[in-house]
Structure 1
Amino acid sequence: MESTLVITITIIATFSASQESNSLLYPFGQAEGDTLNGRNDDGGSPRISISFSLPYFDRLHDSLWVNTNGVISFLGQIRQFTPDSFPLGDGRRLITPFWGDVDTRNGGDVMYRETTDTSILERATSDITSAFPDQPNFRASWVFVATWHEVAYYGSRSNKRNTFQAVLVSNGRQSFTVFNYGDITWTTGTASGGNSYTGLGGTPAQVGFNAGNGMQYFSVPGSQTHAIVDVETTSNVNIPGRWVFRIDSAVIQDGGCNAEARTISITPFFGTMLGGTKVKISGPCFDGQDVDIRCQFGTKDPVPGCIADDNTAVCISPFLSDSGRMPLFVSTDGGDTYKYTTIYTSADPDRVLTEVTATENDEDETITIECQPSTVDPNTVDVYLHGFDEKTETWGTIAKLASNVSNTGNYTISTADGWIPVTVVKTGALSVAPAAGNGEARLLPAGANRLLYAGIGTHLAVRATAAILCDSWHKDESLFPEFLEELSRDIPCPTNLNQARRDTGAHHCVRSIESTFQGAGQQCCYNRDGSLLLDGPGRGTPDRIHSADPWLGHFAADVAPYFLCCKMSNKCDKYFERRPANDGTGYVFPRPATTFGDPHFITLDGASYTFNGHGEFVLLNANEGEFRAQVRMEQLVNDGSAVNATVFTALAMRQNPSETVQVQLSEVRTMDVLVDGQLMDFQELTVQEFTGFVVTVEDAAEAQISFNSGIGVTVSAQEDMLSIAMNLPLRLRGNTVGLLGKWNEDPTDDLTRPDGTVVPANSSMRDIHNRFGLPCELTSHYAFFFHLCSC
């Protein structure tokens, strides 16, 4: 196969442009709408305004230059004919499919076009998703094609010619480059030390990417060596003559697989804690006959995987008893060693769109299960009922509810007579799996059984015994009276909906992020007028086990009893006796502090001041380091010109013990959230749990971070600056220092320096700047900002 491809590429060079464009290279030529550069030496196109903002090295670009010497540049024309070694500074932001001394006066053409042609977009989408298995949902919306066709080198005394192409592909958020190579026969012009007859020697061509800041770059192997003449026979995507890269972020990412890879990518990076998620793994090459995939999710026993293709392996997630982030270890030698590690997120079932849905119909006492028939490949499937044992925290198969039924994607199960009477297990789940003896689910190894969970329910108990089970639960709950008292004291409900919305330590009918010492959580519900509901079926109820600690325990302790008492029997009074709505007595709104503008501060005691710092500063240090927040301030730039003001561009926070969460401006993505330096993706999973805090990003311009200590933070991106709103619980009063002030109900001493010196609140802006603000600047020893390189 590889030799066929190489032969094809060699023949291509003798075809016409239209013929050549139908193979490895994208279509090009004037018939395709290309603009030709005039024949020249060391010239190029004029500035090309593109109709699309292209993300490249974490910056957006609306124009570019196609230069004769095999370079696409973004900040100006490049006439340099001898390539320099990367990385380069001086603002040379470059994409170099083949940077060498091209002279089209001796032959050849350079041409380009941008396009949204449907066939080109579909082709680009296919090329990108094939090269990047972790980007299955990418869809190209814009393509730019630059082609150097049969171009000669400077000083040539031969008919040697090179043909190559750079294809830029983007959807506005993610960007990729495809380098395609036809016939490559020379590397160097004579002015760069090359031989006039061979085009070899001297300083050979550079292939790769350069950010222009002297730090970030990527060079294709063989660049600036004689080996680059063979780039048409090499590849990172197993297609000789093609190289594919992701280019939008601070680090250029290789497409395809790498035999020397030490890192892996997975998609999806999350799945329901019930298991059954098909996790695709990419990065290493899985082309060896001895490859034996094993995946270990957290501390669970390893599960077998399989190879989908040379670039992709697949594992099915097992049942996971806890939600949150956990390590995923991957072995390619049957579990003898685990060379690869990444992070997998186990999500609560109610936060994940599952592949299977279950709809309950109380009128005819049925449950309808629906899924795409292609989700489970065989023609027939089995439907199972599973039960969760709270004591052992394990799932067991209780019964097979349907056997060898046609795989139509729609299954109706009758519950009229109840299912199986169970007195210990209250939590159940439905699953769909390939029928026994009918082969395996798609891409699964022998013995693997992918259980596609339709949902959680309580139908393990026959309806006739639901009342008995409700009474039993009501009696057992008398053993836990103290949790209600503790919850009312420590986490009372906000008394109205407006308070609840502003309290970022809660979610909306709102649930507390914070839990009590014993692990209980509060739920508060409000009517249309915003008043706290204390009666009726819509009232809030306390949770003896917080919904995140763990979710299945919460379901068994707090949700299943509701179904048993209120839905499956007429004993709701029993349920609400043990789960009374909180009336809000004792609620104290968290103390707010804000920062905004250029930049202005309103402290925890309500004092206002302005501080135009430049650098990284202590925003808040609470309770001697229990919680720390640091802020980055940079000079404001307006229409390319620096303004005599600074703005907030990043916020980093750490609660002991927890990971570091950092929110920062992004020209490409509006705002980035990083956890321990890793850029997080909230597009598919908008609420994510970490150690000690939860991050919610439902809008690209706003992030909410809720710490289990009761601290809530909202960060908003507006016009190239961040605004920060922070709410602190009352227990931290008297224990704060930093730019948000000393919180003690006395605004006159808010501007207290780290050494205890008080700067009067009515001081001049200059005095506040020099005597209070600057002493709060961080030293490298205390800073925990992660510096994501930027151009």
Structure 2
Amino acid sequence: MGGRDFVILTTIFNTSSVVKCRFNKEIVVNGSVDVYGRAHCVSPLLYETGRIPIEVSVDGGSTYPHSGTWLSVHPGKVSESEKCTLVNETKWQYYGTPHYGGSLTVHWNPDMLKTDLVDIEVWGYTESGEPYTATWSPSWKYLYTLVHKHLNNGDFTFIPKPAAAEHRVFEFGSLRIVPSKYDDGEWNIHSIWSVDHAMAWHLGEDFRKDSAGWARDKCLKWHASDKKLPDFLSEIIDCPCTQAQSRADMGRFHPDYGCDIDSGSVCTYHQGAKHCVRAIYGSPKYAAGQQCCYDERGIQVLTSDSVGGSTPDRGHDWGSPPYRKPPRVPGFSHWLYDVITFYYCCLWSHNCQYYLELRPSSDCRTYKPPKIASAFGDPHFITFDGVNYTFKGKGEYILVSSNKSLVIQGRTQIVKYANGSASTVAGFSSVAMQEGSSDIIEVRLTEDLVKVEVLLNHEPLSFNRTWIDLKGAFLFYGADKRVTAMFSSGAGVEVSGRGRFLSINVLLPEEFMNQTQGLMGVMNNNPNDDFTLRDGRVLLTNLTSEELFQFGADWAVTNDGSLFTYDSTWLIDNYQVKHDPNFFPTFSVQENPSDPITEDMKIVCGNDSFCRFDVLTTRDLDVGIATLMSHANYKNLSQSLQPVVSCGWLETPKNGKKEGTCYLYNYEVIFTCNTGYILVGSYSRKCQADGTWSGQTSHCVSDNTLGIVLGCVFGFLTLLILLILIALHEKKHSKKKEMNVPSVSFHQIKDA
């Protein structure tokens, strides 16, 4: 949203320099040089997220000799200290509706602005032109100022008054706090923004007198307009069936910051839900988003059963490349098409059926979980098709190479014993990855094996927030030294620092079937071909450890294909040869009851063979514990990603009730009817293994209706029986007449 004053620290400039900063080769803002010779600029509104090219000029824009990148982030991901807030955020969004009024208070961090007096402005957002055409453009506009020359003390309390008529057409926007020395609405100046929000508090008396009626009219107009826009529901990804699946499918879904069970957010827009996720990438054509919400049982909440259910988005909340053309503007387009419209229909009036008709929950009947492969410890591999093996080479190797242009490489490093001597054990110390022309992401352990370092295109990346938008990828830095890369194909790569090694989990969606090769195998549900060499030859699955060593060596990285960073003499000298033929690892080890570490190993590892092996080869229980945790993490993810059968939503019968809102295998739904009605069909229906419901469709019919129907049926049957009896009687009578007819000779006929 712009307004951040930043300082260029690496160069000292002449105080007389005329500084300009150019973003994305086109947006130019004025800068300055302070008394210390440091150049300052203020970031502009960018309408997009990710790393933006920035260039700096000191000659008034004639040349731009200095360059770098600027990280633009979604407004919702900005820290609380960097934005201002309205007090009681559950009330200002209803301000002006019955029972909600009074004063509002703005809070901000006064240290963010080095000034004594501030102005607080109101800005609004709208879009114009023909939807989904080149004429469709965004507009971010200054509306008016709430207060001039207010003391920069971090608080301002006011009683909202209706804005001028021309400003009330902007129903959502933000507050901006700026130093009072600037003109009203001046662009690209140092400022603090609030989160974008529904500005009910500035709407007119017509809204305040009859907010429900006003909102109903808005809802109906939106409903008619949105129905004419292209259908986006058919191209968005289907929701995972369970919360466990949604949290494990880390390459395609990420927690919704507005309803995240880990952060304790309150799920304001999804009452009854405990956790929601969003599809990470917008749909291919319309940049639409998917949202999936789950209750305390971890079962999906559908809007067909509750207004708190999952709702897809015409505009993905995080935007979608190519940015800056609606509905691809991060946050703003989503508010315009999917959030303020929810206010009209569901929060400010009781017409939610119109909203949910056009934003229905996606169930999970077509959802297919990704396949997972893992590598950890000394290093042990579990392929996409479930083959377990250990490859103990020292060098750089291809873990995954796919026809979809995804490449994941791993570097192993020799582990040293406690006394400093080299062991015959190697583990992963670095993982590098790229998909197509995306940024290259590398996650590696520091040389002391204590910290995890992330490199972006071979340069160290500083994490000042947990979520970073990159070219062709998103990057999430979580707890426990865990880094997750999410690529546009839906591939997810989780790298964790565990003990002396890195642990790697790779999740690939179904589109990668028969598209992979490398140490993590051929993903095709056939474990027999996972040991496939570069030249296509397939080795048997019952290989010895020595034969597995040769298989792994075949997948060594080539010099011209390496994604790794070589930023020290030590690394260059050690990895000129991508597979060290002189390193002879310990292929097997025997458990010796007299070995003093054996008893502790049994206590720590239990029956986990990977853990036991690593303890004995490294003589380090901590290594075994790390291996045990990595293996357990893989098993938990694998279990969470097991396919789940869904039979689809069942409708509540008219004039009846439905008990049960889970539509997964083995769950039962029970139907009852209201007083005065009788159930026709099945009382209960159970989701079966083939994805169909047992029983018959349930209906509730009134007692009178049932009597009439039964009477009609009985009358019809009675009439039918009478007709049959009459027909039989006539047939019998006709037969008797035939028997009594006198015979006539041929001669009589001839004479006649």
Question: TM-score with structure 1 length normalisation?
Answer: 0.61
Which secondary structure does the structure 2 equivalent of 1:504 belong to? coil
Matching of residue 397 in structure 1 with residue 178 in structure 2: no
| 1:651 corresponds to | 431
- Residue 687 (structure 1) aligned with residue 467 (structure 2): yes
**Which one-letter code corresponds to 2:240 in the other structure?**
P
Q: Distance in 1 between matches of 2:512 and 2:196?
A: 39
> Which structure has greater strand proportion?
1
Matched to 2:452, the amino acid is M
Distance in structure 1 (CA, Å) of the matches to 2:450 and 2:569: 13
- 8 Å Cα contact 2:125-2:139 kept in structure 1: yes
User: In the alignment, which of 490, 515, 539 is matched to residue 282 of structure 2?
Assistant: 515
Q: Which has the higher helix share?
A: 2
Matched residue type, 2:127? E
The residue aligned with 1:494 is 240
Residues 1:580 and 1:365: Cα distance change in structure 2 (over 3 Å): farther
Question: Is the CA contact (8 Å cut-off) linking 2:396 and 2:411 kept in structure 1?
Answer: yes
> Alpha-carbon deviation of 1:522?
1.1
Q: Which residue of 2 aligns with 1:67?
A: none
- How many residues are treated as equivalent by the alignment? 505
Q: Deviations over 1:671-728 (max 9, x none)?
A: 111111121122x211001112111102251111111211111111111101111110
Is structure 2 residue 67 aligned with structure 1 residue 358?
A: no
Match for 1:728 among 496, 500, 508? Answer: 508
Q: Superposed, which structure 2 residues align to 1:444-455 within 5 Å?
A: 449-455=189-195
1:629 maps to 408
Instruction: Tell me the secondary structure at the aligned position of residue 357 of structure 2.
Output: helix
The structural deviation recorded for 1:502 is 1.1
The alpha-carbon deviation at position 734 of structure 1 amounts to 0.8
Question: Could you say if the C-alpha distance between residues 396 and 289 of structure 1 is closer, same or farther in structure 2, counting changes exceeding 3 Å?
Answer: same
Residue 393 of structure 1 deviates from its aligned partner by 2.2
TM-score when normalising by structure 2: 0.64
Alignment of 1:255-270 (within 5 A): none
Question: 1:375 offset after TM fit, Å?
Answer: 3.9
Amino acid in the other structure paired with 2:12: C
**Residue number among 18, 21, 40 corresponding to 1:295 in the alignment:** 21
Cα deviations by residue, 1:352-404 (Å, 9 ceiling, x for unpaired): 12242233434325542112345445544322111223233232112222234
Alignment of 1:560-575 (within 5 A): 560-575=340-355
* AA partner of residue 409 (structure 2): Q
Specify the code of the residue in structure 2 equivalent to 1:382: D
- Mapped partners of 1:366, 1:342: distance in 2: 45
State the 1:616 CA deviation: 0.8
Deviation at 1:425, TM superposition (A): 4.7
C-alpha deviation, 1:540, in angstroms? 1.7
Residue 613 of structure 1, CA deviation: 1.4
Please give the secondary structure, in 2, of the residue aligned with 1:525: strand
Instruction: Tell me the distance in 2 between the aligned counterparts of 1:371 and 1:774.
Output: 58
Q: 1:296 to 1:700 in 2, by over 3 A?
A: farther
1:672 aligns with 2:453: yes
CA distance in 1 between partners of 2:343 and 2:51 (Å): 30
1:275 aligned onto 2:35 = no
Structure 2 contact 43–188 (Cα < 8 Å) conserved: no
Query: What amino acid is the match of 2:11?
Result: P
Does structure 2 retain, via aligned residues, the 8 Å contact 1:330–1:340?
Answer: yes
Q: Is the 8 A contact 2:83 2:195 kept in 1?
A: no
The change in CA–CA distance for 1:571 and 1:669 in structure 2 (over 3 A counts) is farther
Partner SS state of residue 156, structure 2: strand
SS at match of 1:575: helix
Judge conservation of contact 2:125–2:172 (CA < 8 Å) in 1.
yes
Instruction: Indicate the residue corresponding to 1:472 in structure 2.
Output: 221
Gap regions ≥5 residues in structure 1:
1-273
Identity level (%)? 31
Report if the CA contact (8 A) 1:365-1:416 is conserved.
no
Residue type matched to 1:281 in 2?
I
**Equivalent pair of 1:703/1:714 in contact (CA under 8 Å):** yes
Q: Name the counterpart of 1:739.
A: 519
Q: 1:211-240: CA deviations, max 9, x gaps?
A: xxxxxxxxxxxxxxxxxxxxxxxxxxxxxx
Verify the 8 A CA contact 2:162 2:203 in the aligned structure 1. Answer: no
The 3 A distance-change label for structure 1 pair 777 and 668 is closer
SS at match of 1:776: coil
C-alpha distance in structure 2 between counterparts of 1:733 and 1:351, whole Å: 35
Match of 2:106 among 349, 369, 373: 369
Secondary structure of 1:309 counterpart: coil
Match of 2:196, SS?
A: strand
1:713 aligns with 2:481: no
Cα gap change, 1:367/1:622 in structure 2, threshold over 3 Å: closer, same or farther? farther
Q: What secondary structure, in the 3-state scheme, does the structure 2 residue paired with 1:390 have?
A: strand
1:212 corresponds in structure 2 to none
Aligned counterpart, 1:341: 67
The unaligned stretches of length 5 or more in structure 2 are 129-136, 256-275, 320-328, 571-752
Residue of structure 1 equivalent to 2:11: 284
In the alignment, the residues of structure 1 paired with residue 189 and residue 400 of structure 2 have an alpha-carbon distance, to the nearest angstrom, of: 51
Cα 1:652–1:379 change in 2 (3 A) is: closer
- Map residues 366-445 of structure 1 onto 2, 5 A cutoff: 366-391=103-128, 392-415=137-160, 417=162, 420=165, 425-435=170-180, 438=181
Q: Within the alignment, does 1:546 sit opposite 2:316 as a pair?
A: yes
Q: CA, structure 1 residues 631+407, in 2 after alignment: closer, same or farther (shift >3 Å)? A: closer
Question: 1: distance between equivalents of 2:498 and 2:116?
Answer: 53
CA contact (8 A) 1:316 1:450 kept: yes
Return the alpha-carbon distance in structure 2 between the equivalents of residues 616 and 378 of structure 1. Answer: 54
**Residues 641-671 of structure 1, C-alpha deviations (whole Å, 9 max, x = no match):** 2221211111111111311111111237611
Given the superposition, is the C-alpha separation of residues 365 and 574 from structure 1 closer, same or farther in structure 2, using an over 3 Å criterion?
farther
Measured against aligned partners, the alpha-carbon deviations of 1:725-763 in whole angstroms (never above 9, x if no partner) come to: 111000110111111111221101110111000111111
How big is the shift at 1:416? Answer: 6.0
> Which residue matches 2:297?
529
- Structure 2 counterpart of 1:572, one-letter code: C
2: CA distance, partners of 1:713 / 1:448: 38
Range with bigger deviation, 447-456 or 642-651: 447-456
Select between 685-694 and 505-514 the one with higher mean Cα deviation.
505-514
Partner of 2:398: 618
Secondary structure of the residue aligned to 1:697 is: strand
Q: Distance in 2 between matches of 1:643 and 1:322?
A: 50
| Equivalent pair of 1:759/1:768 in contact (CA under 8 Å) | no
Cα 1:680–1:447 shift into 2, 3 Å: closer
Partners of 1:378 and 1:440 within 8 A in 2: no
**Which is worse superposed, 595-604 or 463-472?**
463-472
Displacement of 1:631 in angstroms is 0.9
Give the deviation of 1:277 after TM superposition.
Answer: 0.8
* Structure-2 separation of matches of 1:716 and 1:659: 20
Distance in 1 (CA, whole Å) between partners of 2:450 and 2:143 is: 47
- Alpha carbons 1:283, 1:311 under 8 Å: kept: no
8 Å contact kept, 2:413–2:426: yes
- Local SS of the residue matching 1:302: strand
More moved, 313-322 vs 419-428: 419-428
Determine whether 1:331 maps to 2:57: yes
- Superposed CA RMSD in Å reads 2.4
Check 1:566–1:368 CA distance in 2 against 1; reply closer, same or farther (3 A cut): farther
Q: 1:612 deviation in Å?
A: 0.8
> Which structure has the greater CA radius of gyration?
2
Are 1:485 and 2:485 an aligned pair? no
- Separation (CA, whole Å) in 2 of partners of 1:784 and 1:507: 26
Is the Cα–Cα contact under 8 Å of residues 249 and 370 in structure 2 kept in the other structure?
yes
Give yes or no for the alignment of 1:780 onto 2:520: no
Using the alignment, how far apart are the partners of 2:77 and 2:19 within structure 1? 29
Matched to 2:178, the amino acid is: A
What is the identity, as a one-letter code, of the residue corresponding to 2:563? F
Given residue 543 of structure 1, which amino acid in structure 2 is its aligned partner? D
Change (3 A) 1:575 1:626: same
Counterpart CA distance in 1 for 2:67 and 2:232 is: 40
User: Residues 378 and 439 of structure 1 are in contact (CA less than 8 Å); yes or no, is this contact kept in structure 2?
Assistant: no
Q: Name the amino acid aligned to 1:280.
A: V
2:523 and 2:453 map into 1 onto residues whose CA distance is 30
Q: Any idea what the Cα deviations from partners look like across 1:520-576, whole Å, max 9, x if unmatched?
A: 221111111111111334322111222222312223222222233333333333222
